[in-house]
């Protein structure tokens, strides 16, 4: 098994947090005339893409911070949790 880095990948964490923040911010307080859907199909597509971008952002945060969790889990004696990682 190749040696994995024990340091977090900060660009993934930062990019993921920015994606999630921007999507949630634009959903909670949208600009008055910016990217408005004119019919139900457009609104559905916009909602699906919002969820997809948030999922990608969460995945980036998870994959970037995974070495931190591995480091803290390696000292744990509860092997049932370590098996998941």
**Rounded distance between C-alpha atoms, residue 76 and residue 59, angstroms:** 24
Asked whether residue 4 is assigned to any structural domain, the reply reads: no
- Categorize the per-residue pLDDT at 5 as very low, low, confident or very high, splitting at 50, 70 and 90: low
Q: What is the mean pLDDT of the chain?
A: 82
Does 38 map to a domain?
yes
- How many angstroms separate the CA atoms of 65 and 80, rounded? 20
Whether 21 maps to a domain, the answer reads yes
Residue 3 domain-assigned (yes or no): no
How many domains does the chain fold into? Answer: 1
How big is the CA angle at 59 (ends 21 and 25), to the nearest 5 degrees? 10
Residue 18 included in any domain: yes
* Predicted local confidence at residue 85, as pLDDT: 47
Residues 6+ apart with CB under 8 A from 12: 60, 61, 63, 64
Q: Could you list the residue range(s) of the whole structural domain that residue 54 is in?
A: 10-82
Helix 40-74 with 10-28: angle, nearest 10 deg? 140
2 within some domain:
no
């Amino acid at each position: 098994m190749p040696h994995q880095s024990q340091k977090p990948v900060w660009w993934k964490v930062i990019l993921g947090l920015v994606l999630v923040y921007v999507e949630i911010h634009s959903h909670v307080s949208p600009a008055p005339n910016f990217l408005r859907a004119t019919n139900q199909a457009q609104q559905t597509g916009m909602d699906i893409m919002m969820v997809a971008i948030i999922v990608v952002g969460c995945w980036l945060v998870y994959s970037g911070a995974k070495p931190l969790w591995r480091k803290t889990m390696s000292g744990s004696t509860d092997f049932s949790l370590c098996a998941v990682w």
